[in-house]
Chains A and B, each alone.
Chain A
């Protein structure tokens, strides 16, 4: 069964305290892995797409990496405005292009 698991469920950091979020997956065929940010009351906002093991993408304080079994979202020197829920999703290799999501990591960055 195709499955995506994110850990931890919740993470509290002090401003400037770097950390990583994990997304592990077991799927029959991977087209791509996606990271989204979601603020309360809003739709998920696209951050990154990773397609192959070893690939890395960066955006401001965020860096996403991919291996054959998991992805990490590294947050360097976070700020309070980075507080949000971070969602990981995998896209299967069939013709539907549909996404399977993890349940997310709620990040709170305290000043």
Chain B
């Protein structure tokens, strides 16, 4: 599991509230990724990071921001949650010693009412 934890594992919130999801890794890897998974769409990349304070957008980045102030933590923030952001969010990091094979965390199920 590449030492990945995500918190919280479940969250219910209301439209318009800010939400922050946390991904924590213990492998000291440079790259980290945030995906969302929705029925019929598979997993889609939201943002990724290639180092402390180095981040870039994925294919579905609108409405999301990220921060990485230290190697082990990658935060995903929904500034003002909307119902369309109800989803399961996964964090991924590459296998130690490789940039290719990504291993996924257990996921965070977010419901926006």
- Which residues on A are within 8 Å of B, measured CB to CB? 4, 31-32, 34, 36, 41-46, 49, 87, 89, 91, 95-104
Contacts and interface: CB of A to CB of B under 8 A. Distances in A.
Contacts of A45: 104
B100 A49 contact: yes
Interface string B23-53: 0000000010101000011111100101000
A10 B33 CA distance: 28
Given A34-B101, A43-B90, A44-B90, A101 B106 contact: no
A56 to B, nearest CB: 17
Contacts of A46: 95, 101-103
A103 B42 contact: yes
A46 B2 CA distance: 11
B42 A96 contact: no
B42 A87 contact: yes
27 contacts: A31-B100, A34-B101, A34-B102, A42-B106, A42-B107, A43-B90, A43-B105, A43-B107, A44-B43, A44-B90, A44-B104, A46-B103, A49-B100, A87-B42, A97-B31, A97-B99, A98-B33, A98-B45, A99-B33, A99-B43, A99-B45, A101-B42, A101-B43, A101-B44, A102-B42, A103-B42, A104-B42
B56 interface: yes
B3 to A, nearest CB: 13
A96 B42 CA distance: 19
A105 B83 CA distance: 26
A87 B41 CA distance: 11
